[in-house]
Amino acid sequence: MKAKIFACSLTLALAALTGCSGSQSGINRSLGQADATRSLVNDNKLDASMTSNSFSKLVAAKALKEDGKIEEAQALAEQSELEMRLAIAKSEYEKAKNEDKKLEESLRADEERKALYQSILDKETKK
């Protein structure tokens, strides 16, 4: 009987420890991903107004982890990372939009030059 109680309590303790370590690895992974995304944000030199809220959430997530509020910390870290990814995506979209605008203007200028050259060629061939 004592062996069964000991085995059950040992199993419960192992399950609890495994659950805790799983949570710890989950929060560590979330914080690591958020930190990596923050590095990308810094490398891309994004506007601080787009990312300041997500940076503060990341700091808060780290504080919550230290306080032992793992689930809240993980949720906040993941939200922070998603906001930073959104900021990166918006920045890339704006860059692509500006590049498209420049290419469109260049194409329009090329078409105008082509029409001008064609009219000159037509005038020369009529002479």
Q: Does residue 113 form part of some domain? A: no
Residue 101 to residues 54, 87, 91, Cα–Cα distance (Å):
30, 21, 15
Supply the pLDDT for residue 12: 37
Q: What is the pLDDT along the chain (127 residues), one digit of tens a residue?
A: 344 343 333 343 333 334 444 567 888 888 888 878 888 888 878 777 778 888 888 888 888 888 888 898 899 989 989 988 888 888 889 999 999 999 999 999 999 999 999 999 988 888 7
Concatenated DSSP letters for 8-43?
HHHHHHHHHHHHHHHHHHHHHHHHHHHHHHHHHHHH
Supply the pLDDT for residue 106: 94
Q: Does residue 40 form part of some domain? A: yes
Supply the pLDDT for residue 20: 45
Supply the pLDDT for residue 103: 95
- Rounded Cα distance, 122 and 32, in Å: 66
Domain that includes residue 89, residue range: 2-93
Q: Does residue 28 form part of some domain? A: yes
> For the chain, what is the domain count?
1
Supply the pLDDT for residue 93: 93
Q: Does residue 77 form part of some domain? A: yes
Q: Does residue 116 form part of some domain? A: no
User: What would the two tokens of residue 25 be?
Assistant: 């690895």
Supply the pLDDT for residue 22: 54
Whole-prediction pTM value? 0.65
